[in-house]
Amino acid sequence: MPKFTDAGLLGNINDLLDNLIDVPNSLKEQNIPPNELYCEAFMKKYTDAATFAEFLRLGGFKAETSADLDAIPVSELDKLTAEHTQFDAWREMQEAAAKFYLEKN
């Protein structure tokens, strides 16, 4: 039986994690608007807000494009995410939204 210390199994797990981490970036390259990636169904299920715009307003932010969103410091998004979602960090929320989006589309 393989052990987690086996290089092959550990390598496969690391490859899987690397691919999962790249999902939000690959979706970003497709220029999916934030309000589509963070759709109402996702926001209602995982956050204190009904929409992504409302979520950002909770932190005093406004972002209509991916570029606007990229301008917000990650540390501020981490804080907002921890306070108003089921996630501990912004990256965790991005990964969950990407997975949710891919499952729906």
What pLDDT sits at residue 26?
A: 58
Tell me whether residue 23 is in a domain: yes
In whole angstroms, what is the distance from residue 59 CA to residue 45 CA? 19
The pLDDT > 70 percentage for the chain reads 70
Q: Please give the backbone phi and psi of residue 16, each rounded to the nearest 5 degrees, phi first.
A: -60, -45
pLDDT band at 24 (very low <50, low <70, confident <90, very high): low
SS3 69: helix
Tell me whether residue 77 is in a domain: yes
CA quadruple 55, 59, 64, 65: dihedral sign: negative
Tell me whether residue 1 is in a domain: no
Query: Which token pair is 99?
Result: 């997975």
What pLDDT sits at residue 50?
A: 97
Tell me whether residue 30 is in a domain: yes
Tell me whether residue 26 is in a domain: yes
> Domain of 17?
7-104
Tell me whether residue 2 is in a domain: no
How many domains, the chain?
A: 1
Read off the pLDDT of residues 53-94 as tens digits, 9 standing for 90 and up: 999 999 999 987 778 888 999 999 999 999 999 999 999 999
